[in-house]
Structure 1
């Protein structure tokens, strides 16, 4: 309500300030007008109408008149623009700017425009360049730290994350580059901005767009200078340096005025692109600073000082990074977090049209992709959209069915690019034994695979020409087909830097190498049949899925026919047996099973699932934000099994009403169903109630911390009465009051032998219902709570710090010193030790503070 009142006061404020605004803005109305047009508050026709007025004061009045007709939102943007202009004007009066300063400024803009006026298109021919198109990736301003769980592969998480951001329009909104450094709260300006996004999403394109606009005198960001630095270049510096030298490496034309540029650091924007590509980002030490531009230190220390405001404290800094690296960034100094959300559905269609250059063909191909959930989700990533288009262009000649798995897509991508490279069909190459063309291609692919594999093991995505694994590929004609090349320049030294077109392409080639050679499987994926798997950060998840798909009979045969590479028969048989063994053990011990299910899905062989015969069928996919691809893998496996599902754990997966409807046939087979830590509305609860009404199997239901209240509980109560099969109902941490509990009273102790309702809402009349032994509203049964404590602690152990803090908020919201039971003392003591160990290795300032607060509360 307060926010709404503030918003509604904007137009009134413009009216009240009208007279003073005419005096204040007459000297800057033309530049302010350009900003209003850029922000799409004013149209070009509006601008012409304003410019027709005689004199600046008349123009200001006309602007105010037009605002009256445009309403509250326009007035709000106008006040922000006016405030930002005034702030810039006030600060700029502190340092006089000479004619030479302005001359160098224009020279710098010319240089930036020339460097950034064109970009390589994903589907351009070698050497072909195009100008920036009007189709620009969407930006969503994220309210707070939007770190993706490193436990999941970021590309696979991306589609679901993007949809989630689109739905939260109240909290997150689309922004333009002009708003990146706007005042976040109306009081202090935004100085440090972190832009994140998955590989191939357009972070570097965003940077280039900003440089291009700045070079074209679009001064909407109100900076005098922009300095761009790429970590790909900075990686070549292996000795102490200083910030002045870093700037001059590629900007010698700034030498004469650099002192004045530093003196006006409030008008300076420094862009640091690709933090995740920094060779040493994992070893960054935030406690070593330099304070002067001429002070020598390691590159990471110079840039860290800049980011944390120790060096040039008034300068603005924009840092771009993939999500996987943001835990190594001192986020405490970041004023704004921005997530690049890639293409919208309309932009995917536009990309198809530009690629195929035929409306009918583009529409047909887009329809094909829309029918494939996997391909459509990944098309939101611009780089991957090209991969899909490349496949579709050749799909009619490759196979008669649409790709079903990730491996299918990438194998077809490999063959499509090989065909494009050789300008002939793969069959022709196979017949041309005399030239050995296919053998040469196969050898090169294996070498590429070895490079991909070795660097994946070392967590590297950039490869330098001096590297031995790169040197063996020198002279290969298809190198440019799969590797992107840039040239990093160091004074007196030039070195080529290579990377695969996309992170997932590197993982695919690494798996291909492992499949067609005698190289053993990495230790990290040798055994997945352990409940400790959650400690894995998921670095090899997609690699193992590709490996499984390549080692399937159908894709091994496809690979042999099209590329001439053969998977080792022994390795195929061994890996298939490994999947069956791992799935059996994971089902029995309740270990985290999702990636193993994906590996099974990649095989597309129903006979494998028939070999999985656990003593109890337990499927644990908890603590993952599941995408449709994940549910497809889960359904694929469970639909191939028969009988009851002993346990299905969907705790903290973001499950929705639509998802529950989709998997409802599976829910009917569950004995134990855990749906806690999901935001379940009445529609979702109604689906669960429908299951309870007809299921002959379900005996245990977990709905802890799922935001259910009395109305939702009463819907469940009515359903429980129908079959009377449910024995235990866990609903801790919800909004249930005495009224809701009362609805359960005639269902206990038959059929409900246990109802757990701690951490709910009660009133003073709760005594009668809470006196029932089967309804637990406090910590009484030591044996029960000891088992509960062990379960929670195991979840905490395998959780990321972000997830751990969420759990701590729930289990530490009571006075633990009131719990004298031995189980509680053990539980909270172990929890305290876990938090202490996490603090020791935590590199994120904000997260470290949160963990320390919890540690202090447990150890007063």
Structure 2
């Protein structure tokens, strides 16, 4: 039994290696060793330094323990390999315009083919409380040229040379559609394929929209892993403890969990049951699996749910730089001439060019412009946001028709009655949840708006670009619009339809709390009731309706209605009403009424309005194709007697906006020289 014989002074560790070599010999020879020639129990003579048979059980027991460990390690490695394969399948194909991996059929585009590196920086912008997210990206586009330190997404857990402590918890902010989830998918895919972050032995990807479904139930962290990632069923608590773990929690802004970091039970065992909220807070604080890495993504407004003391690094996804925008379009289209034409057109409109900082908007623009430039559809290419989203709605509806072979071929501008009915129901859903800031919907939410699951499925299964159906565990389906701006556009379509069809109940409810600038507070609701509750025969003109909705938006502290009212003003134009044929209804939008609406915007004065709300008034003018204020500011800046001319509120807003987005360096701006 020489293979298992050790010198006594070599101790137990040597015995382990001898036993390991014995196992190796077995596998090499294919047969167990022959013990028949070894001395039996009756032998009285023992070779010096040898181990008696009576002493052998301790060695063989140790042997068995080692073999068990090897077997367990083999099971763990097999589970981890299966987990990587599962994650790779989940992440390698994506549907553009969707925040998730491939759909149920596994179709989609290869992520590695279309993925364009995003501009990610360490730290966070300041204007998260008062700005609509579109304004935040406008600010971000200006800040690209500042001295921010970019960081590669795959390096977010790597400490910089000047950082002493390790990075355990990372919080990544970014506006809706800017690429947070795609970054998560790319990070996960790179890990699963073995190209990045291989020091991490186990990556666990979880989304808040899925965790919401079990928020009222009790789970242990280990059970949570097994439920959401069945390939990890064989991973035990003991093995979890020795793994280097990375938890990714995507979409904190979609969370319906109550994260209380001050008053919660302490959970330090992965087998201990508690609520999902408690598990997360303990994991983030380091009380549960203290060595595990944690990555959380969120829209800016929701990020404050995590105390700064719990976060080691904050990063911000800024979207595409100007160079990356062009790279995206060139990667998306193999036709170089087509991509060049699209890029050239985008650059002609400053608002479109800025919006393309958001990858989802770049995809929307690419979808629309590709369709318009490669089909028989003729007409002026869209230059405003309202134009772009109106065309997008039509293109996706047409694609749905082609997929389902719905009747005869219709012109791009022609919506069927069935199309209009479903789109207005989606518009109602979008509108009713806009004020609450809710972007995730369940079946009961759809049913309250008259949508049945079949109708929604038609628009989500194929037309995922308009309304996406997220299949999650527990057979519960979550719905959401592809991007917040699509929700805002459809909400504006629905509101405009309510105005033209005299749905006074919806209008009165929406406008009832406004403090009108030209009315006494006591008479405000009476005025609304008169006009929008059918108590008088004269229905308010379009310019009055637009003025009141603008008043409503100006009262928002965070600008959640900014894009909504921009779309409303854009929809007032005959060109967009004609484009959406029949969806908006008929209204008097004569040149006189449109001019009155423009004048209302120019003359709007409110002492309590934030600068961001005032700038949005200027954007509304641009959506109505009125460039007079922009031209007046250009002339003002060129004039020699600038200090003698008085600037109105709208002129100040336009000037502020132009300074923010200007690509030129300003040598001096002395506000004391100007009259306001």
1:484 lines up with 2:505 in the alignment: no
Structure possessing the higher relative contact order (Cα contacts under 8 Å, 6 or more residues apart): 2
2:605 to 560, 574, 586: 586
Q: Give the distance between the partners of 2:90 and 2:324, measured in 1 at CA.
A: 26
1:421 lines up with 2:421 in the alignment: no
Determine the structure 2 residue equivalent to 1:178: 155
1:334 deviates by 1.0
Correspondences of 1:600-749 after superposition (within 5 Å): 600-604=621-625, 635=633, 644-645=646-647, 659=662, 684-685=667-668, 688=670, 698=674
Q: Deviations over 1:823-855 (max 9, x none)?
A: xxxxxxxxxxxxxxxxxxxxxxxxxxxxxxxxx
Correspondences of 1:368-447 after superposition (within 5 Å): 368-395=345-372, 400-423=379-402, 429=410, 438-447=416-425
1:413 deviates by 1.4
Q: Give the distance between the partners of 2:454 and 2:321, measured in 1 at CA.
A: 40
Q: Deviations over 1:698-745 (max 9, x none)?
A: 468xxxxxxxxxxxxxxxxxxxxxxxxxxxxxxxxxxxxxxxxxxxxx
Change (3 A) 1:571 1:200: farther
Determine the structure 1 residue equivalent to 2:277: 300
Correspondences of 1:33-182 after superposition (within 5 Å): 98-122=73-97, 128-133=107-112, 136-140=115-119, 142-164=121-143, 166-169=144-147, 171-182=148-159
1:201 lines up with 2:169 in the alignment: no
Q: Give the distance between the partners of 2:608 and 2:125, measured in 1 at CA.
A: 33
Tell me the C-alpha RMSD between the 2 structures: 4.2
1:258 lines up with 2:236 in the alignment: yes
Q: Deviations over 1:326-368 (max 9, x none)?
A: 1222222111112223234344334333444311122122212
Determine the structure 1 residue equivalent to 2:507: 520
Asked if the contact 1:548–1:599 (Cα under 8 Å) also holds between the matched residues in 2, the reply is yes
Q: Give the distance between the partners of 2:655 and 2:265, measured in 1 at CA.
A: 40
Q: The residue matched to 1:684 in structure 2 has which SS?
A: coil
Q: Give the distance between the partners of 1:240 and 1:300, measured in 2 at CA.
A: 10
Q: Give the distance between the partners of 1:213 and 1:379, measured in 2 at CA.
A: 26
Determine the structure 1 residue equivalent to 2:5: none
Asked if the contact 2:141–2:661 (Cα under 8 Å) also holds between the matched residues in 1, the reply is no
Q: Give the distance between the partners of 1:116 and 1:658, measured in 2 at CA.
A: 36
Gaps of 5+ in 2: 1-68, 518-550, 638-643
| Higher mean C-alpha deviation, range 545-554 or range 254-263 | 254-263
Q: Deviations over 1:619-674 (max 9, x none)?
A: xxxxxxxxxxxx959959999xx97326765799698599498xxxxxxxxxxxxx
1:291 lines up with 2:267 in the alignment: yes
Determine the structure 1 residue equivalent to 2:491: 510
Q: The residue matched to 2:580 in structure 1 has which SS?
A: helix
Q: The residue matched to 1:235 in structure 2 has which SS?
A: helix
Correspondences of 1:820-859 after superposition (within 5 Å): none
Asked if the contact 1:597–1:637 (Cα under 8 Å) also holds between the matched residues in 2, the reply is no
Q: Give the distance between the partners of 2:167 and 2:215, measured in 1 at CA.
A: 32
Q: Give the distance between the partners of 2:161 and 2:658, measured in 1 at CA.
A: 33
Q: Give the distance between the partners of 1:203 and 1:453, measured in 2 at CA.
A: 25
Q: Give the distance between the partners of 1:99 and 1:442, measured in 2 at CA.
A: 58
Determine the structure 1 residue equivalent to 2:295: 318
Determine the structure 2 residue equivalent to 1:352: 329
Q: Deviations over 1:740-783 (max 9, x none)?
A: xxxxxxxxxxxxxxxxxxxxxxxxxxxxxxxxxxxxxxxxxxxx
Q: Give the distance between the partners of 1:174 and 1:346, measured in 2 at CA.
A: 17
Determine the structure 2 residue equivalent to 1:541: 562
Q: The residue matched to 2:288 in structure 1 has which SS?
A: coil
1:279 lines up with 2:236 in the alignment: no
Normalization by structure 1: what TM-score? 0.56
Change (3 A) 1:205 1:473: same
Determine the structure 2 residue equivalent to 1:91: none
Asked if the contact 2:618–2:654 (Cα under 8 Å) also holds between the matched residues in 1, the reply is no
Q: Give the distance between the partners of 1:660 and 1:402, measured in 2 at CA.
A: 25
Q: Give the distance between the partners of 1:584 and 1:204, measured in 2 at CA.
A: 42
1:184 deviates by 6.5
Q: Give the distance between the partners of 1:358 and 1:552, measured in 2 at CA.
A: 34
Q: Give the distance between the partners of 1:176 and 1:377, measured in 2 at CA.
A: 22
| Higher mean C-alpha deviation, range 455-464 or range 503-512 | 455-464
Change (3 A) 1:347 1:219: closer
Q: The residue matched to 1:327 in structure 2 has which SS?
A: helix
Q: Give the distance between the partners of 2:182 and 2:412, measured in 1 at CA.
A: 43
Determine the structure 2 residue equivalent to 1:566: 585
| Higher mean C-alpha deviation, range 233-242 or range 520-529 | 520-529
Determine the structure 2 residue equivalent to 1:739: none
Asked if the contact 1:525–1:544 (Cα under 8 Å) also holds between the matched residues in 2, the reply is no
Query: Paired residues, what number?
Result: 542
Change (3 A) 1:559 1:131: closer
1:122 deviates by 4.5
Change (3 A) 1:448 1:576: farther
Q: Give the distance between the partners of 1:235 and 1:113, measured in 2 at CA.
A: 24
Determine the structure 2 residue equivalent to 1:465: 443
Q: Give the distance between the partners of 1:121 and 1:414, measured in 2 at CA.
A: 16
Q: Give the distance between the partners of 1:699 and 1:410, measured in 2 at CA.
A: 39
Change (3 A) 1:314 1:350: same
Asked if the contact 2:492–2:567 (Cα under 8 Å) also holds between the matched residues in 1, the reply is yes
Q: Deviations over 1:673-695 (max 9, x none)?
A: xxxxxxxx9x522x659x96xxx
Change (3 A) 1:260 1:107: farther
Determine the structure 1 residue equivalent to 2:223: 245
Determine the structure 1 residue equivalent to 2:3: none
Q: The residue matched to 2:382 in structure 1 has which SS?
A: coil
Asked if the contact 1:154–1:324 (Cα under 8 Å) also holds between the matched residues in 2, the reply is no
1:105 deviates by 2.7
